[in-house]
Chain A
Amino acid sequence: MKDELILLAHGSGGKLSHDLVARVMQPAFANPALDLMHDGARVEAAGARLAFTTDSYVVKPLFFAGGDIGKLAVCGTVNDLAVSGATPLYLSAGFIIEEGFPVAALERIVASMRAAAAEAGVSIVTGDTKVVEKGAVDGIYINTAGIGAVIAGADISPLNARPGQDIILSGPVGDHAVAVMAGRHGLKLPATVASDCAPLGGMIGAVLAAVPQVAVLRDPTRGGLATTLNEIAAQAKVGIMVEEAAIPVRPEVQAVCDILGFDPLYLANEGKVIIFVESPYSEEVIAVLRAHPYGREARVIGRVTAAPAGQVGLRTGIGGVRLLDMLIGDQLPRIC
């Protein structure tokens, strides 16, 4: 369409985002590494197998329960590398700052980036700072890119999803989005609700070391669990069936969702991983996850099926089955 304009919903991570990327960016830049459309691209340089990724962070508010834009910018990129089957090594950090932004707030953000990088075992080795006129951005935007070394023996790709595999989720969904949303609207939340924002490189590395047979790794960020599973089903041309009763959602998070009319399955997470593995290995994967502080509530939530290809079904609490579609439109803008 000639007069079509970019809508906020094009950035939601849902169906519109996908259509836009598939229609505009993908054909223009097409190459084998990009076409896989994984969270991080796998590339080779001077004989080394590397994972490479980038992401921009425009969250509002900048500070929320459990984290801030700086922690998010480090963890998000670290996690994209980790779910590519790589050990995260080096990050870049680009700042676009609005004129008038308090230096003290920048210091807080940078300190939290340093802490997150230390925990993740990565170094921020290059960066860039731009200041733009008041109103040109909302406070501060951060872009991070990262490089990691692909773990020997790991073969991670959404195309590896095969019928019969178990789908494991590392913990409850929706915490991050609800914490951010509450921060934005000044909602009082129970102290137990905070963003799950965390660097997962260590935990995922431990899983891959114990069970190299892991086939697919993904972190359910924008668009949430539902959209992430849809992406995998579409790419691998398999069906997916998940059990509503098995998907952990904190009651406090569910309560906020009920009030605001959100579905936790579509809410962004910043410290969760989805793992596909042949079922004989799932117990071991879960044991490794549960041994880690970020994976205490890991469990099998569903299975890969042969049909219907490209679609995700949900077995509901009372035993019915329905489509679990990608997010249409925008549930929550700017949360990661």
Chain B
Amino acid sequence: MKSRTREEERRLAAFFRGEIARLATRPVRLMEVCGTHTVAIFKAGIRQLLPPEVELVSGPGCPVCVTPNEYLDTAVAYSRQQGVIITTFGDMLRVPGSSSSLAAEQATGADIRIVYSPLDSLAIAAANPAKKVIFLAVGFETTAPTAAATVLAAEQAGLTNFYVLSAHKLVPPALRALLTAGEVQVDGLLLPGHVSAIIGEEPYRFLAREYGVPAVITGFEPLDILGAVYLLVKRIAAGEAALDNEYRRVVPPAGNPAAVAVLDKVYGEADAAWRGIGVIPASGLAVKAAYRRFDALAALPVTVEETKDHPGCRCGEVLRGVARPADCPLFGAACTPERPVGSCMVSVEGTCAAWYKYGAGRWQV
């Protein structure tokens, strides 16, 4: 993509736009599942390039956003224990739990460290043998293999003070849950490129087969996304439900078997709770029995406060694609990126944060 000149990009964009406008003869609703796509769509101003018939809605594809309060409460409870170091990606810090957040705990003395790779946690564990290091393992199929590899590396290094608190989630089961619930009518799906680079095409085949919904695996450049919308609108116009892979240059049809093998070695499918959606069968990853000593929940006792939800926050509906951020009375008023109320405003990939930052409702609809 990068090798195209700006002029070529403009021409291709104009072609996609023209074709989308020509083919979209009835209202269609396309869902971008992935938070990275949501941000890319807003950053490139793509919604505004589409005819009124084509509506893009954001789905539950931001791992920080869909992590429920209960998980944060558990992390907070661990962070309050003596001799515990929490390692986490930065976004998790500010997400409000039931009564606290990791940032608030850090300000009052909890040892919480931001890492850029889960592997960084191992160096911290090695340097602090008297402490217990708990990595907050959050993310979809993209990040889970690295977390799994970290567990294997911890075993290899003989570390006995490293643990993961797993909230890993799987994309295909969430799509099934959304389509089954039928709460939001979806005519087509934009599928995340980086998740697909791991799992390949096969896990999405049920979308067309069982639900008759066309889907496109796509990348994150503006032209990738516009091209994917074009492919979906074309399929819909032709009355076809199929899976297309627009992102072949990165996503092999079979995915990355080596990463999947590492994942399968350490993790097994488990039911998981999603914020705003509830428990989805087999949509999460739990540490397998053989690696239980690395599983914080299994190895380290903890008492967690009772879960409370934030009054007024409509993150759940936003994550299900039922409400738009602007429908939330707190949006832009009580809830801003500086003082977020809900997870969708905290995470840089959150739908509310993207709406706010890129001015949805002002420059675009």
Contact = CB atoms under 8 A, between A and B. Distances in A.
B364 A322 contact: yes
A319 B359 contact: no
Contacts of B48: 320-322
Contact of B358 (A16, A245, A308, A322): A322
Contacts of A311: 359, 362-363
A245 B49 CA distance: 17
A318 B363 contact: no
A329 B338 contact: yes
A33 to B, nearest CB: 30
A210 interface: no
A135 B326 CA distance: 47
B350 to A, nearest CB: 13
Contacts of A245: 6, 10
A318 B223 CA distance: 8
A318 B49 contact: yes
B42 interface: yes
A60 B146 CA distance: 34
B316 interface: no
A304 B14 CA distance: 25
Given A319-B49, A320-B46, A321-B48, A16 B357 contact: no
B357 A318 contact: no
A323 B89 CA distance: 28
A325 interface: yes
A277 B25 CA distance: 45
A313 B364 CA distance: 10
Interface string A305-326: 0001001011111111111010
Contacts of A319: 10, 13-14, 17, 45, 49
A318 B10 contact: yes
A328 interface: yes
A315 B222 CA distance: 13
Interface string B328-359: 00000000011000000000000000000111
A314 B43 CA distance: 9
B266 to A, nearest CB: 28
B105 interface: no
Interface in B32-70: 42-49
B363 A321 contact: yes
Nearest to B6: A245
Contacts of A328: 337-338, 357
B186 to A, nearest CB: 23
A299 interface: no
A323 B44 contact: no
Contacts of B46: 318, 320
Nearest to A318: B13
A317 B222 CA distance: 9
Nearest to B355: A323
A250 to B, nearest CB: 15
B226 interface: yes
B222 A320 contact: yes
Given A318-B10, A320-B48, A320-B49, A325 B357 contact: yes
Nearest to B337: A328
A322 B42 CA distance: 7
A213 B338 CA distance: 40
B222 A316 contact: yes
Nearest to B226: A318
A316 B357 CA distance: 15
B363 A323 contact: yes
A185 to B, nearest CB: 13
B359 A323 contact: yes
B363 A313 contact: yes
A78 B278 CA distance: 59
A322 B43 CA distance: 7
B269 interface: no
A322 B41 CA distance: 10
B43 A317 contact: no
A93 B46 CA distance: 49
B45 A322 contact: yes
Nearest to B361: A323
B222 A318 contact: yes
A317 B11 CA distance: 11
B363 A322 contact: yes
B271 to A, nearest CB: 34
B201 interface: no
B9 interface: yes
Interface in A280-336: 308, 311, 313-323, 325, 328-329
A303 to B, nearest CB: 15
A317 B5 CA distance: 11
A85 B64 CA distance: 48
A197 B103 CA distance: 37
Contacts of B17: 319
A242 to B, nearest CB: 12
A15 interface: yes
Contacts of A315: 45
Nearest to A325: B357
Contact of B337 (A314, A317, A323, A329): A329
Given A316-B45, A321-B363, 19 more contacts: A245-B10, A311-B362, A313-B363, A315-B45, A316-B43, A317-B44, A317-B222, A318-B45, A318-B223, A318-B226, A319-B10, A319-B13, A320-B45, A320-B364, A322-B359, A323-B357, A323-B359, A328-B337, A329-B337
23 contacts: A16-B338, A245-B6, A311-B363, A314-B45, A316-B43, A317-B44, A318-B10, A318-B45, A318-B46, A318-B223, A319-B10, A319-B49, A320-B45, A320-B48, A321-B45, A321-B48, A321-B363, A321-B364, A322-B44, A322-B358, A323-B358, A329-B337, A329-B338
